[in-house]
Structure 1
Amino acid sequence: MRLLPVFFVVLLSLLLSGCNSFRVSEDEVNQEVAKRLLEPKANHIALMLGGNTLNLDLLVNAAHIHLTERDGGLVLVDMMTDMKGTLTAFGRDFSLTTKVNPSFESGVRLEENRVYLVAAKLTKVEVEGSSFNDQMLRSTLGPLHGDFEKALADYFNEHPVYVLDHSPFEASAAVLVKDIIIKEGELEFDIF
């Protein structure tokens, strides 16, 4: 029984010898995000912007992640969401139901075995539709850009985009990761 931990350490050393990094592809990250969005509570972002100007609930339907080496490594995210809520303008409350598609760029961090997006910066927000409410929302989101960006950053600070648990190798190597490098189309995890 005492030999079991020694055997595990030797086996792990043999597996990792000559291997100082491992990679996770962009496709694997996107599959993980899609799986997580199917969880009922993992796809809602509550927004209270500008005091009470906007009281919104975003339902994230899909998110596509693109990994690029540009600017030292960035994660580019395009989200497709349904937005419901109320907009207060001109002393009146307007009910909103529309599609909002934010795009942003961020970095990554590893906490235990989970990969999170950090420092999200909005690059674009598209509001679909041409109704009066959609046009009002477009004009309101401009001045509230920072609040919207913070809500997205808070969401991804709590919800990982990838968990290193898809294989015994990934799970055991997660504790040895020293750095994450964003490469073109993949995340590289440096070990040792």
Structure 2
Amino acid sequence: MKVIRTFAIVTLSIASLFLSGCNSLTISEVDVNKEVAKQLAEQQENHITLLLNGNALNLDLLVTDANIDFTERNGGLVMVDLSSNMTGTLKAFGQTFSVTTKVNPSFESGVRIEEDRLYLVAPKITQIDVEGSSFNEKMLRSTLGSLHGDFEKALVDYFDQHPVYVLNHSSSEKTAAALVKNIIIKEDSLELSIF
């Protein structure tokens, strides 16, 4: 009986989408940024870990803020600026240095959908800012410059586990989540093509 009722509700939802002429759902950049800010405030797992060369570099980034910008440039990109607190150790010149600083990576990526969740995909770092001017921070800045590939892999691992948006804010979002055929990155929004 429950299965029949659920099937009827889904069928009615799909029919209402057809009848209303709705063939896409738009999610604004503002809504995604609100969702990400909410997740960062709630989660305790906002860490990106970077280990390298038998612990020559052991860094932990705690993501404190993220700004997401959708642009149509180059066929559609998601531009992301992260703010993070970095702690860890760096081995160089036969010594181990403790590092505590702010690191602000910027990257561009695509977006994918899995069930009802939107994830960033294939991030490519465009810039890494390390705040401060101490010797340790200067060493870290030069070390991170040569580690783009490893840093990008750490970002991929992080964003594979942390969606930037969940399609559960309304009944139309929940229904559309199962029907999305394509995602188009527009200026300041995502358009989810349904049929």
Would you call these one fold, judging by a TM-score over 0.5?
Answer: yes
SS at match of 1:93: strand
Structure 2: runs of 5+ lacking an equivalent = none
CA deviation vs aligned residue, 1:148-181 (integer Å, no higher than 9, x gap): 1110111111110011111111011110111111
User: Is 1:14 matched up with 2:20?
Assistant: no
**Matched-pair identity in %:** 63
Contact in 2 for aligned 1:98/1:134 (Cα 8 Å): yes
Within-5 A mapping of 1:90-169: 90-169=93-172
CA distance in 2, matches of 1:134, 1:52: 18
Over residues 100-128 of structure 1, what are the superposed CA-to-partner deviations in whole Å (9 max), with x where a residue is unaligned? 00000000110111111111000000000
Give unpaired runs (5+ residues) of structure 1. none
Which amino acid counterpart does residue 14 of structure 1 have in structure 2?
S
Q: Offset at 1:49?
A: 2.7
Whether the aligned pair in 2 keeps the contact of 1:68 and 1:185 (CA below 8 Å) is: yes
Check the 8 A contact 1:77/1:105 in 2, yes or no.
yes
Question: RMSD across aligned C-alpha pairs, in angstroms?
Answer: 1.5
Which whole-Å CA distance do the structure 2 matches of 1:119 and 1:8 have between them?
Answer: 33
Q: Is the 1:49–1:144 Cα contact (8 Å) retained in structure 2?
A: no
- Match runs of 1:68-83 below 5 Å: 68-83=71-86
Partner SS for 2:133: coil
Question: Cα offset for 1:72?
Answer: 0.4
Give the structure-1-normalised TM-score: 0.95
Contact 2:85 2:102 in 1 (8 A): yes
Number of corresponding residues: 192
TM superposition score normalised by structure 2: 0.93
Following superposition, the deviation at residue 130 of structure 1 comes to 0.6
